[in-house]
Chains A and B, each alone.
Chain A
Amino acid sequence: MDIKQRDQGSIAILDLNGRLDLSSGTMLKEHIKKLFEKNVTSIHLNLSGVDFINSSGLGSLVSIMKETRLAKGRFTLSNLANYVQEIFEITQLSHIFEIYTTEEEALASYQSVPAN
């Protein structure tokens, strides 16, 4: 999986491309750990390039979401492919993640719902 970072103000936007599985999930957690070390705790993932996710990838996202909550930050997701969205719904994870249809909607939400 490929991870590209863009910054908008205090928000780190990560574009993910490829499969989100055991090895790439670990890589993503390492990337975000480095953001936390720089006190960046507002993180948005644009998943438009993710064409495959499994339970290991989901586990990585849950781990990141919990770490972000503990750091009083925010963790948002957008642009999920239908197949990926379906997996979030089957696993009920759509209830605990902040999921937006588009990146624009997600970033706009940071104006109205700031980090804790």
Chain B
Amino acid sequence: MERYSLKYPSIPASEDLMLDDLDTLLDRLKLGREMKHKIMLVVSEAYTNAYLHGNQENPATTIKIDLTVNETEITVDISDEGKEREGLVNIENKKPAALFGENGRGIDLMKHYADLVRFERGAKGGLKVITVFFRLNKNEVKI
């Protein structure tokens, strides 16, 4: 099992930095292009929610990303320090985003690309988004 942890202040510049770091880390782990795209997108969506809705762009707060790599799955937890968003716990009941709407597609994409998405109360009272990506086998097909 391998574990990695990334942490960023809730400032606009962190988004690009986080994606650069994640890109580099996933390349190093040699997970395959398809798996890399899925993880990048899902983490990006959870990160944006944490930044905008959880930490509400408060630069004094941070967003933490914990990645665990096993032979059978990859788990990525994204934690904020904001108010718990109770509504997100019931994502299965979420209606699809309006076609001409500018928001609301993030959770739909997370549910599509991650094999499991769960929301829990974080240790510091914020929200922890747990995402799991199952691997096909030890010799995962690289596309």
Q: Interface digits, A79-115 against B, CB 8 Å rule (1 contact, 0 not)?
A: 0000100010011110110000000000000000000
CA distance A9 to B44 in the complex (A): 38
A26 and chain B: residue at smallest CB distance: B12
B37 within 8 A of A: yes
Which residues on B sit within 8 Å (CB–CB) of A91? Answer: 97, 105, 108-109
Q: Interface digits, A47-61 against B, CB 8 Å rule (1 contact, 0 not)?
A: 000001011101110
* Interface hits, A6-60 → B, CB 8 Å: 19, 21-23, 52, 54-56, 58-60
Inter-subunit contact B16/A55 (CB<8 Å): no
Which residues on B sit within 8 Å (CB–CB) of A63? Answer: 102
Inter-subunit contact A54/B102 (CB<8 Å): no
Chain A interface size band reads 20 to 34
Inter-subunit contact B16/A23 (CB<8 Å): yes
Inter-subunit contact B100/A62 (CB<8 Å): yes
Q: Interface majority SS on A: helix, strand, loop or mixed?
A: helix
Inter-subunit contact B100/A66 (CB<8 Å): yes
A23 and B100 contact, Cβ closer than 8 Å, known pairs A54-B106, A87-B109: no
A62 and B44 contact, Cβ closer than 8 Å, known pairs A55-B109, A91-B109: no
CB of A87 to closest CB in B, whole Å: 7
Q: CB within 8 Å of A: which residues of B?
A: 12-13, 15-16, 19, 37, 40-41, 44-45, 48, 51-52, 97, 99-106, 108-109, 112
Excluding A23-B13, A23-B15, A23-B16, 7 further A-B contacts by CB distance (< 8 Å) are: A22-B15, A22-B52, A52-B41, A54-B44, A54-B45, A59-B101, A59-B103
